[in-house]
Structure 1
Amino acid sequence: MSMAQLVAAGAPELHGSYFYRVRESSIDSLLVEIRRQKGRWRSVAVAEAWVYHEHDVTAEAAIVDACIRAFKVWKERVGHHVAYVAAVEYIGDHDPKGRK
């Protein structure tokens, strides 16, 4: 299944060097990862979600659901990182009189 097919089926679109990987993690268990390409041959996982197999849900729908959940986890992590980076500028002692 291509990225375009996943997005057409309802998965959030990923931009830049990010992509989905569906992989088998153990016997009868699938995992969806959001990965960032690092160089030509390497990538790193930034978020993941298990694919839940249910009797009345198609395989495609289960994978798209896992993509959506992984995307939410990834966005939460990105938000926390952005907040941390913004707060880093306040590291240090603060003079009560406003001097440096």
Structure 2
Amino acid sequence: MSMAELVAAGAPELPEGHFYRVSSAMITGYVRVSIRRARLVGSVHVEAAVVAMYRHSDELEAVVFGCRTAYQWWQEKEESTELAQRVQALYGDHDPRGGRR
């Protein structure tokens, strides 16, 4: 199945250089959906979700659910990383007279 077919079925579109990988979750009845970033050689893991196939009406619905879940977790992780970076600008001792030591 192509990325275009997954997106047409409802999966979020990924930025350039990223792709979905669907593989066994090593547990019968479950599938692992990963988001990966392509490199010059191979790819690196970005985020993943494990989906129980029996909770969905068909395999495609389960995989699309996994795509959405992994994408949502990836976005939440990115947002929390950005927030942590902004908060770091506030680290340190703050002088009661308005300055910073």
TM-score (norm 1): 0.87
Length, aligned pairs only: 99
Q: Which runs of 4+ in 1 moved over 4 A?
A: none
Supply the RMSD in Å over aligned alpha carbons.
1.7
Match of 1:94, as an amino acid?
Answer: H
Distance 1:67 1:9 in 2: 11
Q: State the identity %.
A: 39
Cα offset for 1:19? 1.3
Match of 1:91, as an amino acid?
Answer: Y
Query: Counterpart in 1 of 2:41?
Result: 41
Query: Counterpart in 2 of 1:74?
Result: 74
Instruction: Quickly say closer, same or farther: Cα 1:56–1:86, change in 2 above 3 A.
Output: closer
Instruction: Quickly say closer, same or farther: Cα 1:90–1:67, change in 2 above 3 A.
Output: same
How far does the alpha carbon of each residue in 1:24-46 deviate from its partner, in whole angstroms, 9 at most, with x for none? 13153320011122x31232222
TM-score (norm 2): 0.86
Distance 1:42 1:91 in 2: 38
Which runs of 5 or more structure 1 residues have no equivalent in the other structure? none
